[in-house]
Amino acid sequence: QSVLTQPPSASGTPGQRVTISCSGSSSNIGSRTVNWYQHLPGTAPKLLINNNDQRPSGVPDRFSGSKSGTSASLAISGLQSEDEADYYCAAWDDSLNGVVFGGGTKLTVL
């Protein structure tokens, strides 16, 4: 059971907009910033969104992040087949003194 809660799966057709939610608590998302990672099988994870809503250089603006209270969301607009991957939210947890990840959401592009 992960400390951060994500839906196990999400799907959409090319061009659609999908959102992935991430729910935490006051010791992590509620008091810290949220980061999102994209992970394709067999490759290293990639930073997608940091500090709730910041896109690192090279990440398309189709990806956006937001946070409210103890929850966060990742939105992907203009869905493309190459977006099919696992997506993880993460944050520092002040009670556990470590990083906590969500369980991951497998995105399928239909």
Partner 1 sequence: QVQLVQSGGGVVQPGGSLRLSCVSSGFTFSAYGFHWVRKAPGKGLEWVTFIPYHENTKYYADSVQGRFTISKDNSRNTLYLQMNILRAEDTAVYYCAKLAGSGPDVFDLWGQGTMVTVSS
Q: Which residues bind partner 1 (CB under 8 A)?
A: 2, 32-33, 35, 37, 39, 44-47, 50-51, 56, 86, 88, 90-92, 96-104
Nearer to partner 1, 76 or 104 (CB): 104
Token pair for 90: 């993460």
The CB-of-73 to partner 1 minimum distance in angstroms stands at 18
Residue 25 CB, nearest distance to partner 1 (Å)? 16
Q: Which is nearer to partner 1, 52 or 73 (CB)?
A: 52
The Cα 25–Cα 43 span in angstroms is 30
Q: What angle do CA 50, 48, 91 make, to 5 degrees?
A: 45
| Nearest distance in Å: CB 52, partner 1 | 11
| Selection from 16, 105, 29 nearest residue 66 by Cα | 29
Q: In terms of CB distance, is 10 or 47 closer to partner 1?
A: 47
The kind and range of the H/E element at 86 are: strand 85-93
